[in-house]
Structure 1
Amino acid sequence: MKPHFINPCCFGEDFAAWLKQELLRFPDLGIELSEPIQEDYGWGLWASRGKDRFWVALSYVGDGPQEAPAQWVVSVTYDPGLNLAKRLFHKPDQQALQQLRDRVRQILASNSAIRMVQA
């Protein structure tokens, strides 16, 4: 646990930083990435392409690093924010969302230290 964690089981900072660096190796996605952000459930980062913002969330499953092997939930979703008009009328770029999801899945699957379990 690091001193700046907002709760005792807020792991994932290193994982989020690593995933960001891996995503930056694919400029063909055309996305801009934020710095990793701590949430009460783990970490995440914004991926923006044009007017669309996608949230990449990394959630640790468990009560702490004493549980081996570590288990994570990784998700990529479209997030229109609090803009009601955007929520009701804007259709996100589904191709961009799918490309980002596929690339995250590819990055995780290509790392031999990571075992993928599909829900």
Structure 2
Amino acid sequence: MILDITCKTDKFNLSVVGEDFINDCCFGQDFSNWLVSKLRDAGIAADVLCMEDFGWANTANFSGLSYLICIGGTSDQLPDQPNFGTWHIMIEPRRTHMQRLRGKGTVSASDPVISKIVQIITAAGFSSVAVEP
């Protein structure tokens, strides 16, 4: 199960398509670098992995669990705020095949890593923060 944290901000690029983008929507490198840095500051082992066709993929290890954290965003197309938009932070725990078959090892809104990410983005002043299953 993937859990999605959504938020709005203008702190990161949503307006300039990079020459190295796989698709025109591969925004999130600056957000990924920022979030990974904040997670590390909080004592969570985290790394930026790579660009994906929708944004960026990252990893985090917290309390003995490993997570894939993907980030993607879309601009609200405001002429005076080209970088303002909605960001998705999609979190999926890494699970074994047996865990998947048994429905074990899922993530929920009460998971400590989710709480930490929500705390980080809220403290940074992001708006419309929501956690969606």
> TM-score normalised by the shorter chain: which range applies?
0.7 to 0.9
Name the residue aligned to 1:72: 87
Aligned pairs (5 A) from 1:89-108: 91-92=104-105, 98-108=111-121
Q: Give the secondary structure class of the aligned counterpart of 2:89.
A: strand
**Contact 1:13 1:43 survives alignment (8 Å):** yes
Partner amino acid for 2:66? R
Partner amino acid for 1:23? L
Name the residue aligned to 1:2: 18
Mark the runs of 5 or more structure 1 residues left unpaired by the alignment: none
Distance 2:78 2:94 in 1: 30
Partner amino acid for 2:116? R
Tell me the alpha carbon deviations over residues 43-83 of structure 1, each in whole angstroms, 9 at most, x when there is no partner. Answer: 12111247632121212125989755221112222132xx5
Name the residue aligned to 2:128: 116
Aligned pairs (5 A) from 1:46-65: 46-49=59-62, 52-62=65-75
* Equivalences, count: 112
Distance 1:94 1:73 in 2: 16
**Contact 1:34 1:46 survives alignment (8 Å):** yes
Mark the runs of 5 or more structure 2 residues left unpaired by the alignment: 1-16
Root mean square deviation of aligned Cα? 3.1
Name the residue aligned to 2:11: none
**Contact 1:16 1:36 survives alignment (8 Å):** no
Shift in alpha-carbon separation, 1:8–1:93, aligned structure 2, 3 A: closer
**Contact 2:67 2:93 survives alignment (8 Å):** yes
Shift in alpha-carbon separation, 1:25–1:51, aligned structure 2, 3 A: closer
Greater RCO (Cα-Cα under 8 Å, separation 6 or more): 2
Q: Is the strand fraction higher in 1 or 2?
A: 2
Q: Give the secondary structure class of the aligned counterpart of 2:127.
A: coil
| Percent pairwise identity | 23
Shift in alpha-carbon separation, 1:86–1:16, aligned structure 2, 3 A: same
Deviating above 4 A after TM superposition, structure 1's stretches of 4 or more consecutive aligned residues are 62-68
Distance 2:71 2:64 in 1: 23
